[in-house]
Structure 1
Amino acid sequence: VEWSLERFNDGKNFTLAVDTDVLQFNQPVPRLQAIHGTDSSDWQLIFDPLDRDDFGNLTCRLTDTNLRDVYLTRLLNVISEPVVLESSTKDIEINEGDSVTLICNAQGYPAPNIEWQKADAQPLSSGHIRQVGSQLHLYQVTSRDSGIYKCLASNLVGFGSEWTLRLSVRFRPYIYCQNQVGQAPDFQVDVYMECYVYGYPPPKISWRQERSAGPSNAKYDIDISNSRKYLMEATIPEMSTCTDCILSRLTIINVEQGDLGLYYINATSSGFPSEQGRIELYGTSDCQQFITHRNNKGCKRIYSQTSSSNKIYSRFYTFHFIFFVLFIQNYLKHSIC
């Protein structure tokens, strides 16, 4: 007598026992017994304990006295709470506008019910998202469909395991910026400007300033990098604020007259055209913003080099004039004597 099992969860076939010799599932602890009484025609295979993975077709095969194979196959149902199998859809990336099907394969008896959810608790759109059985179909996806999806399997026994995957939607970058920001120049005070940059994969961000030169005020750009003058920062906002976005901040340290004008932010992502945003920095008579940093004295007007030199020359001439007057007075006094 030969016992075999066609297991459903992984499609593998096992020869479990031949006569009373057990061939499988002996590690780490034997859990099978093949029994045949000497005075009986009954053959028994005992699972102790029964495992959820034993779910499948169990076959008993023997050879009769006429050397003919006789077999009997029965479905071995294992009553258990569901478990989601590794063959389910894993993390996936697609382009905006494409369609995709997410598959949740679950094992359990009775047959499990499948429910799909989005981890951010946002309801699944009934327009272009539809669940059919254990599959979730998404048609013509947009960037808003990006995120974590959860597959929940349950049956009468209870709730089984939970399967999560990330759906990433590749889309062209776009930028939201302040229109303008004001600050008083030459007051030893900083100013910052902010833009939200969207895109996946995460775009590369750069800043530049537009300047003019010459009698014709010819326009040219200068690239901005971190220095004593500029500080560029990028942070990931809370998911409640935005997803697949970066908050880019440019701080201009100790704003001067030459810093006023137009600033441009550029976002580039592989496979997509670049995107540009613009902010104007204009001058104000009073300080508008304060950002603390090690050199920021805050709203104290910077005197020009010319006025400082004039003060030095003024003190020099005053000192020499007083000295000259005292010298004349002393000379006249001695002459009279």
Structure 2
Amino acid sequence: VEWSLERFNDGKNFTLAVDTDVLQFNQPVPRLQAIHGTDSSDWQLIFDPLDRDDFGNLTCRLTDTNLRDVYLTRFLNVISEPVVLESSTKDIEINEGDSVTLICNAQGYPAPNIEWQKADAQPLSSGHIRQVGSQLHLYQVTSRDSGIYKCLASNLVGFGSEWTLRLSVRFRPYIYCQNQVGQAPDFQVDVYMECYVYGYPPPKISWRQERSAGPSNAKYDIDISNSRKYLMEATIPEMSTCTDCILSRLTIINVEQGDLGLYYINATSSGFPSEQGRIELYGTSDCQQFITHRNNKGCKRIYSQTSSSNKIYSIFYTFHFIFFVLFIQNYLKHSIC
């Protein structure tokens, strides 16, 4: 007698025992036992303990018949909480506008129920997302469909394992910026401006300033990437704020009159057209401390050298005028006496 098992979890076939000789497959603790009584025609195969991987078709085959193949196959149900199999969909990337099907393969008895969720707790849209059995169909995906998806398997025995995968949607970059930022020039303070840059793959970001010169106010750009006067920072906000986005901040150190004007941010991503945003930096009469760099301790007016010299001369002449008045008063007093 030969015992064999066709496992359903991976589709593999195993010979478990021949007569009373058990093949343990290098298991540290034997859990199979083949029994045949001396005066009996009964053959038994004992599983102790039964494993969830034993779920499948168990076959008993007679090997000493030369006439025909004699065997008996029975379906072996293993009552267990479900487990999600490795054959389920793994991390995947698609283009915006495409459709995709996510598959969750789970094993367990009774047959498990499958539930799909999005990890950011956003409800799955009923418009272009539809679940059929263990499959989740997404039609004409958008960038909002990007994120972590979870497959939860459960049955009457309990909740089993869960499966997570990341769906990444490739889309062209776009930018949201402040329209204007105001700061007082020549106050020894900085100013920063911010833009949210969206796109996947993550776009490359650059900044430039537009200036004009000459009688015709001809426009020209200034590359600010290698200047110590500018500080460019990029951070990834929390998923509750946005997904597939970068917060780009440009800080202008010690704002001067020549720094006022238009600033442009450019985002480029492989395979997509570039995107551009614009912010205007305008001058204010008072210092805007709340948008300065964290190292700024206060707003202090910068005076030119000419103004400083005039101030010194003004103090000098005022002092001499007062001295002259006191001298005249003292002279008249003695003359009268």
The worse-fitting range, judged by mean Cα deviation, of 209-218 and 220-229 is 220-229
CA separation of 1:273/1:328 partners in 2, compared to 1, >3 Å: closer, same or farther?
same
CA separation of 1:81/1:322 partners in 2, compared to 1, >3 Å: closer, same or farther?
closer
Could you tell me how far apart the structure 1 residues matched to 2:290 and 2:126 are?
48
Could you tell me how far apart the structure 2 residues matched to 1:299 and 1:26 are?
77
- Whether contact under 8 Å (1:226, 1:232) holds in the other structure is no
CA separation of 1:8/1:310 partners in 2, compared to 1, >3 Å: closer, same or farther?
same
CA separation of 1:110/1:217 partners in 2, compared to 1, >3 Å: closer, same or farther?
same
Deviation string, structure 1 residues 101-150 (Cα, Å, up to 9, x no partner):
00000000111111111111111111100001100000000011111111
The worse-fitting range, judged by mean Cα deviation, of 134-143 and 22-31 is 22-31
Deviation at 1:214, TM superposition (A): 2.1
The worse-fitting range, judged by mean Cα deviation, of 309-318 and 221-230 is 309-318
- Whether contact under 8 Å (1:51, 1:78) holds in the other structure is yes
- Whether contact under 8 Å (2:289, 2:298) holds in the other structure is no
CA separation of 1:43/1:264 partners in 2, compared to 1, >3 Å: closer, same or farther?
same
Could you tell me how far apart the structure 2 residues matched to 1:335 and 1:123 are?
101
Q: State the TM-score, normalized to the length of structure 1.
A: 0.90
The worse-fitting range, judged by mean Cα deviation, of 127-136 and 23-32 is 23-32
Deviation at 1:328, TM superposition (A): 21
- Whether contact under 8 Å (2:206, 2:266) holds in the other structure is yes
Q: Secondary structure at the match of 1:111?
A: coil
The worse-fitting range, judged by mean Cα deviation, of 286-295 and 310-319 is 310-319
- Whether contact under 8 Å (1:7, 1:57) holds in the other structure is yes
- Whether contact under 8 Å (1:209, 1:223) holds in the other structure is yes
Deviation at 1:324, TM superposition (A): 18
- Whether contact under 8 Å (2:9, 2:107) holds in the other structure is yes
Q: Secondary structure at the match of 2:291?
A: coil
Matched residue, 1:287: 287
Matched residue, 2:128: 128
- Whether contact under 8 Å (1:254, 1:296) holds in the other structure is no
Deviation at 1:62, TM superposition (A): 0.7
Deviation at 1:27, TM superposition (A): 1.0
Deviation at 1:296, TM superposition (A): 3.2
Could you tell me how far apart the structure 1 residues matched to 2:24 and 2:140 are?
49
CA separation of 1:114/1:329 partners in 2, compared to 1, >3 Å: closer, same or farther?
closer
Deviation string, structure 1 residues 160-218 (Cα, Å, up to 9, x no partner):
10111111111111001111011111111111111111111111111100011222221
The worse-fitting range, judged by mean Cα deviation, of 210-219 and 117-126 is 210-219
Work out the percentage of aligned pairs sharing the same amino acid.
Answer: 99
- Whether contact under 8 Å (1:154, 1:160) holds in the other structure is yes
Deviation at 1:242, TM superposition (A): 1.1
- Whether contact under 8 Å (1:101, 1:135) holds in the other structure is yes
Could you tell me how far apart the structure 2 residues matched to 1:236 and 1:166 are?
17
Aligned length: 337
Name the Cα RMSD after superposition.
Answer: 4.0
- Whether contact under 8 Å (1:3, 1:16) holds in the other structure is yes
Deviation at 1:305, TM superposition (A): 3.5
CA separation of 1:80/1:326 partners in 2, compared to 1, >3 Å: closer, same or farther?
closer
Q: Secondary structure at the match of 1:53?
A: helix
Deviation at 1:66, TM superposition (A): 4.9
CA separation of 1:325/1:80 partners in 2, compared to 1, >3 Å: closer, same or farther?
closer
Could you tell me how far apart the structure 1 residues matched to 2:259 and 2:271 are?
34
Could you tell me how far apart the structure 2 residues matched to 1:51 and 1:294 are?
62
Could you tell me how far apart the structure 1 residues matched to 2:289 and 2:332 are?
62
The worse-fitting range, judged by mean Cα deviation, of 121-130 and 235-244 is 235-244
CA separation of 1:27/1:326 partners in 2, compared to 1, >3 Å: closer, same or farther?
same
Could you tell me how far apart the structure 2 residues matched to 1:320 and 1:127 are?
87
Deviation string, structure 1 residues 202-237 (Cα, Å, up to 9, x no partner):
111111000112222211001122643111111111
CA separation of 1:298/1:226 partners in 2, compared to 1, >3 Å: closer, same or farther?
farther
Could you tell me how far apart the structure 2 residues matched to 1:138 and 1:268 are?
27
The worse-fitting range, judged by mean Cα deviation, of 318-327 and 6-15 is 318-327
Deviation at 1:63, TM superposition (A): 3.3
- In structure 1, the gaps of 5 or more residues are none
Could you tell me how far apart the structure 2 residues matched to 1:175 and 1:126 are?
28
Deviation at 1:239, TM superposition (A): 1.5
Could you tell me how far apart the structure 2 residues matched to 1:246 and 1:127 are?
29
- Whether contact under 8 Å (2:96, 2:140) holds in the other structure is yes
Deviation string, structure 1 residues 81-101 (Cα, Å, up to 9, x no partner):
000000000011100000000
Q: Secondary structure at the match of 1:290?
A: helix
CA separation of 1:25/1:157 partners in 2, compared to 1, >3 Å: closer, same or farther?
farther
The worse-fitting range, judged by mean Cα deviation, of 173-182 and 22-31 is 22-31
- In structure 2, the gaps of 5 or more residues are none
CA separation of 1:226/1:316 partners in 2, compared to 1, >3 Å: closer, same or farther?
farther
- Whether contact under 8 Å (1:187, 1:287) holds in the other structure is yes
Could you tell me how far apart the structure 1 residues matched to 2:110 and 2:64 are?
36
